[in-house]
Amino acid sequence: MKAPLSNHGSNSSNNSESQLTRDIRRLERDVLRMGALTEKSFRLSHQALFARDLSAALELPQIDKRIDTFYRQIELECTLIMTSLAPTDRDLRCLSAFMQLVRDLERIGDYAEDLGEIAVKIFPYPQHRLLPEIALMSHHAQAMLATSLVALADLDEVNARNIKYLDDTVDNAYERVYNALAQQRDISGALEPYLLLGLAIRCLERMADHATNIGQRVAYIVTGQRS
């Protein structure tokens, strides 16, 4: 982290300012810890769905509980700071962005758990020919999440804003795979695997959208301007 998001000096003689600085630094660390857990859940969902590793799928509910705990804790602490420590306008911007950002992380964790459930349901069926393209879509979305968290750690406005352009790759892949599934006419046997793949690409598309949102929150923290 290049610098704390609070603009109060660490040697301030004002007790409330000193406490505010410490609290915001702690929140920064907690948001990044939550981000690391969310990245792990995304990796495990990928492993479950594309490497057919059902043990990875079984880990996801427990990790999601930890992500949810971070989400509730950070949201509560942001609210308490806003109402008790007289934050400046910049501090309020950081805190409001944190509250929105952790919601994006929480949703990505939920979608990762959904992908784990899809992996379990689709396991008995033969692998579909579109699975490699869907796996590439997952890799791109994971890279977007990683980039957004690095941008947060570094307060890097440029990379934060550029994430929305990376989202085009995921959106284009979603359209291609969706159209291929919708237009497939040589279906034999159960429809369930096709429906599950449709759900999987929707999860991945939404995960990429939330990673884009995180980038926009970071840019807002740095500049005070909403995209």
| 177: CB partners within 8 A, 6+ apart | 130, 133, 134, 137, 197, 201
In a domain, 8, yes or no: no
What per-residue confidence (pLDDT) applies to 4? Answer: 47
pLDDT at 189: 74
Q: Per-residue pLDDT tens for 202-215?
A: 999 999 999 999 99
Q: Please check whether residue 207 lies inside any domain of the structure.
A: yes
Among the listed residues 142, 116, 106, the one whose alpha carbon sits nearest the alpha carbon of residue 45: 116
Q: Under a CB-based contact definition with an 8 Å cutoff, are residues 99 and 66 in contact?
A: no
Model pLDDT, residue 100? 96
Task: Work out the end-to-end distance of the chain between its first and last CA atoms, rounded to an integer number of angstroms.
Answer: 23
Handedness of CA 67, 166, 135, 196 (dihedral sign): positive
**Segments forming the whole domain that contains residue 208:** 15-223
What's the whole-number mean pLDDT along residues 192-207? 97
CB 21 within 8 A of CB 85: no
Answer whether residue 71 is part of any domain. Answer: yes
- List pLDDT tens digits, range 138-168: 999 999 999 999 999 999 999 999 999 999 9
Instruction: Write the pLDDT tens digit of every residue in 97-121.
Output: 999 999 999 999 999 999 999 999 9
Confirm whether 4 is domain-assigned: no
Predicted pLDDT at 227: 67
Number of domain units in the chain: 1
CATH number of the domain encompassing residue 124: 1.20.58.220
Summary mean pLDDT of the chain: 91
The answer to the question of residue 38 being in a domain is yes
Query: Is 69 contained in some domain?
Result: yes
pLDDT at 6 over 70: no
| Residue at 54 is within a domain | yes
The pTM of this model reads: 0.90
Q: Assess if residue 9 is contained within a domain.
A: no
* pLDDT score of 84: 83
